[in-house]
A and B are shown apart, each in its own frame.
Chain A
Amino acid sequence: MSVSAVRKSSRPVWEEKPTLLGQFGKGTILTVVVAAVLVPLWVVVVTSLSSEKTINEAGGYVFLPREFNPSAYVVIFSGGQVTDAVLVSTLVTAVGTALSLIVTVLAAYGLSRPGTLGHRPILFYFLLTFLIYPGMIPSYLVVTGLGLKDNLLSLILPTAISAFNLVVLRAFFMSIPGELLDSARIDGAGEFRILTRIVLPLSKAVTAVVGLFYAVGYWNAFFNAILYIDRNDLQPVQRVLQQFILAGQSPLTSGAAVYIPGLGASMPPSLAIKMAVVVVTIVPALIIYPFVQRHFTKGVIIGAVKG
């Protein structure tokens, strides 16, 4: 990582040789920490790819992979609630992230030059959202009052703008040398063209991180779905995950029963199917994560310093 790499990998001459006990202790702690994250994920993936027979022999969760049996995935993707939910969440995430990014980038650029007309009051308008929360009940009444109940826009519009992301982007835009923009302006470029041709290409990394933050938020949307979505076929993946794994734990489950063709609504889904649903909710994050991960430190620190 760029930030922590300031201290070089080689041990400085003045530093003591590490003690055996110290090395062992550090190694143990780090192994435990990494295992605490990875072991549950590993067990979930292996169990989701196991047959009913393997699961019964293991007495439940499977630790050592013995086969590659994708039948659970075939079942959940052959129509029914999980298939619907994946489509819904993909749609919400794609449309929501695009909308959020466009609107946030525009506003961040619009605010990136102190001294322009209305700059201070508009900035204050955005920053005030850090201090004043709308509150759950009035938000619920506004969204339902606008007729967005059972409408996927209710999962997008209320969370479309994060002032934090706006501040991160704005701080980055402000760090771009003004001479660069001035020269484009002298060549006759308008603001919009400067934004798309000069500012954005220079800000790919930070825009990608902000996009990831938005996308994760939309993919993880859960409680807004409880408030605003009643229809079974419009539930996002997190709701379905909750119904599969935590069902019976919460009254929030009532109203929407798990349905998968060929399983029957009343039959509890097999462990492999449950685990496959868990994997489906994790995979998108796992795919995007490596591409964006190396930019985290930068984006977060800009936010932390200027926020």
Chain B
Amino acid sequence: MSAPPIVAESAPDTKRKKAKVSPQRQQLSFGARLRRDWPLLLMCFPAMALLAVFHYLPALGNVIAFQDYNPFAGDNPLEAFLYSEWIGFGNFEYLFKNPSFWDAVVNTLSITAFQLVFYFPIPIILAILLNSIMSPRLRSLVQSVVYLPHFFSWVLVVSLFQMMLGGAGLIAQTLRQSGMAVPDIMTNPDTFVFLITSQAVWKDAGWGMIVFLAALAAIDPSLYEASAADGAGRWRRLWHITLPGLRPVIVLLLILRLGDALNVGFEQFVLQREAVGRDAAEVLDTYVYYQGIAVQQWGVGAAAGLLKAVVGLLLIIGANKIAHRFGEQGIYSKS
């Protein structure tokens, strides 16, 4: 890439500056723009190609949800969908009549609801607490420690919980030595929702603070000073200044979480599904996996996945609409 870009660029260079104030660049012909911008297009190409093959091609592959898909119908699984029989909404009918699918839906939604109450406020409380610590060294020490588990894999997090809380874990070991009964938290389906929520808190609540800490730092300190001068105590300042300052971020994250209601995580559940049983740990993503890949009912699995994706998309768009109505930016803006 030597001569062409230099030659092509030296001329439109001045135009580029004008373009910031006026739409004059639009007057360049397609060929001229191509000659000027081809290196940039070339740079986008590898990433676009990777996404085309590993993101958009599988997204189109969801059509097998409408097939009685048989991977051995063709020479390889990609070709097989040409030869598989189209059955319309048969897979969806099967799903709707299948009680374990509805169990997965109910589990997913109840876990989301539970975590909205018992997970969502924790990063906010932690951030407010940490923000009130005066010593910057202590503050950054705590931050470094609590961000860390975000970078651990779910296998590691579940393993650590197993080692601490499991039947042969550290706590059971200590209890047993002092002659007390040992509850096995890791395999009890009744308390499973507490278990996975505490795992999620342990892993990600610290990381979740970041955005709230940033919002807290953006609150004008003179507001605190003025209200203190008017006689507001620390709790009134928390209620009338800190929380209103956090409100936009809280509303935004809450709406985004609602839009993401069908995603409760996958590896965490796959890893513990056998230990606590399917009734408690089957969520939509694990249902897709076991129906589709483990049991090899490809069409049914794909139908469940497609249904989840479509409902998820509608939820995100809906949540974003609500975000706009609240005057927030949302994940994408209108323009």
Interface residues of A (CB under 8 A from B): 1, 3-7, 9-12, 14-16, 26, 29-30, 33-34, 36-38, 40-41, 43-44, 59-61, 102-104, 106-107, 109-111, 113, 115-118, 122, 125-127, 129-147, 157-158, 160-161, 166, 178, 182, 185-186, 188-192, 195, 216, 219-220, 222-223, 227, 238-239, 241-242, 245-246, 249-252, 278, 281-282, 285-286, 289-290, 293, 296-297, 300-301, 304, 307
**Complex contact B48–A222 (CB within 8 A):** no
**Complex contact B155–A59 (CB within 8 A):** no
Cβ distance B203 to chain A, nearest Cβ, rounded Å:
10
CA of A36 to CA of B160, assembled, Å: 11
Interface residues of B (CB under 8 A from A): 1-2, 5-6, 9-10, 13, 16-17, 19, 25, 30, 33-34, 36-44, 46-48, 50-51, 53-62, 64, 71, 76-79, 126, 129-136, 139-140, 142-149, 151-156, 158-160, 162-164, 168-170, 173, 176-177, 202, 206, 210-211, 213-214, 216-217, 221, 224-225, 228-229, 233-234, 266-267, 270-275, 285, 288-289, 292-293, 298, 301-302, 305-306, 309, 312-313, 316-317, 331-332
**Complex contact B202–A37 (CB within 8 A):** yes
Complex partner residue of A182 from B13, B142, B228, CB under 8 angstroms: B13
CA of A16 to CA of B231, assembled, Å: 11
What are the 7 tightest A-B residue pairs by CB atom distance, in nearest-first order? A138-B61, A134-B58, A110-B43, A220-B153, A145-B78, A107-B47, A138-B58
Cβ distance B40 to chain A, nearest Cβ, rounded Å:
4
**Complex contact A117–B34 (CB within 8 A):** yes
Q: Which residues of A contact B267 (CB under 8 A)?
A: 222-223
**Complex contact A135–B309 (CB within 8 A):** yes
**Complex contact A137–B156 (CB within 8 A):** no
Instruction: Provide the main secondary structure of the chain A interface.
Output: helix
**Complex contact B44–A122 (CB within 8 A):** yes
Instruction: Provide the main secondary structure of the chain B interface.
Output: helix
**Complex contact B211–A135 (CB within 8 A):** no
**Complex contact A141–B298 (CB within 8 A):** yes
Q: A60-B170, A137-B64, A241-B156 are in contact. Are A11 and B58 (CB under 8 A)?
A: no
**Complex contact B142–A30 (CB within 8 A):** yes
Can you give 16 A-B contacts (C-beta < 8 A)? A3-B217, A33-B142, A33-B206, A37-B148, A40-B164, A60-B170, A137-B302, A142-B53, A145-B76, A190-B39, A192-B1, A220-B154, A227-B293, A241-B156, A285-B151, A289-B151
CA of A167 to CA of B216, assembled, Å: 24
Cβ distance B101 to chain A, nearest Cβ, rounded Å:
15
